[in-house]
Structure 1
Amino acid sequence: MSLIKIKSAEDFTGIEKNNGLTVVHFMADWAPQCEQMNEVLSELSKQSELKDVTFTMIPAEDVSEVSLKYNISAVPTFVLLRGGQVVERVDGAHAADLTTKVKIQAAKSSLVSTAPAAPAEDLNTRLKKLINSGKCVLFMKGSPDAPRCGFSRTTVDLLAKHETEYTTFDILSDEEVRQGLKTYSNWPTYPQLYVDGELVGGLDILKEMDASGDLDTLLPKKQKLEDRLKALINRSPLMVFMKGDRTTPRCGFSRTLIGILGETLLPYDTFDILTDEEVRQGLKTFSNWPTYPQVYVKGELVGGLDIIKELQSSGELMGTLKGE
């Protein structure tokens, strides 16, 4: 089997559900060790004893939500999964260690496949969890960025009009949920909107409520991005927006900045821009500063790593970071 490149969290979801053994290489194009380890994986994938193993690679920084889920702090890192559960892990470019662990787990796969399956979660219990997974949940075809039917697209536009804070579930991705929810809620069509765990209805109901003015008061509102950014910037007198956090910086610039700040012994807070694309893009425009990391003192932008280095060289860093 060839080495599969995963480009998004959606791609990874299908891989993650694989009941067989899956090897996931969290990598980065800029790291030469990753390219070398990809060659190791390619060779392993050709071995007949590993023909049932799925070998994948995923850009750690580009698909940050998956990296966060598996606590990836450096590349290359390898996670071995079976049925979505981590069975082994290798941190670093250790080809021999990885090869040994892959072969051991592959040998166990035949034993696992003959074991009795764990009982599936009761469908009604699962539906309750999905319905209550957020204050406002929309069951639709597709996603807000890519609706897969006209009714879903119109519903998404309607929720956007009211600046609604909501989560979604793509019923096309799970036939059991798609059919089960119709019976559970006694509502035969999609999309379906739930607020506080209670069914509001489909598009026709939402349109009626919109016309009467009742919909706006029912829906939870998004915090405006500008207000949210201001609150984040002022969360601490010394605030750093970076890739990763102080214990696990996830790019060279962030790592260098944390090293400099550590020498000052000043208290500071961080925000991982890889966890929130809205903040990541919005802050660039808000502060007119296109790159990360970004350092703020008392709500004012100081700058990025280059500025911090210049201040360090001139002896002005401590005073600037203290807001003097």
Structure 2
Amino acid sequence: MKRIFLFLMTNVAVMIVLSASMNILGVGRYLTANGLDLTQLLIFSAIIGFTGSIISLLISKWMAKRSTGARVIDPQAPGNPREAWLLDTVHQLADRAGIGRPEVAIYQGAPNAFATGASKNNSLVAVSTGLLESMSEEEVAAVLGHEVAHVANGDMVTLTLIQGVVNTFVIFLARVAGYFIDQVVFKNERGVGMGYYITVLVCELVFGVLASIIVAWFSRQREYRADAGSASLLGSREPMIRALARLGGVEAGELPKNFQASGISGGKAISAMFSSHPPIAARIHALQAAQQL
């Protein structure tokens, strides 16, 4: 909760600095004088920017089950010894991490796993049949530790906030640019014209690409933290190193686009800058380097 509070305060500070900078440069005064209320625009942008992200977070468990076909294991009656072991392992890891026990699910597919949920005490950890069949129990436990660490770190909530903030800036800055270009370049003096709409469309595309790079960078950092979290929960980095090495040698299972960032192994990206996960080799190196400290 403290980390989330600091994150929100940091972004409020950024918005204040942005507003002050626009006023110092005269842009804010010019736009305000010509009928654009920056405060109202910022509020509008925040509502639009955060609404979709928050709704996605709240329904993430339901969407994950529907989109992957994941079957939740009944804690009172696991179907077989493997399911009983999965439940017991996730519950032990959750207890060590000090969070509520997540739902545990299995889905059909190539090696992968993910965690999702609206809070630390309302989460889901799911593993694929391919991962269970291709790894030893110790390696699977390391992957489960990685996913539990994501939940314990509050990564789902943090990434939702980051996505909401960048969405807000994309919407806000695109409309400020659109209004400015419409007034200065196209000399439109009544309402907004085509210059506004064209500029907003172009700026949203450009700023959206830049925002994706920012979100992907944050996502990669949380993967390093979750790897380290797994090592901490298991008391050793070796199982996580071996699990990552195993993942590096197989074709990872593709998750639905909305959940690719949640998987132990990310989906394909057009560039490393847009990747939600660091390269496997880099993750192994980070664990090995930490082990030597």
Larger Rg: 1
- What is the TM-score of this pair, normalised by structure 2? 0.24
- What is the TM-score of this pair, normalised by structure 1? 0.22
| Greater length-normalized contact order (CA 8 Å, ≥ 6 residues apart) | 2
Structure with more of its chain in strand, by fraction:
1
Structure with more of its chain in helix, by fraction:
2
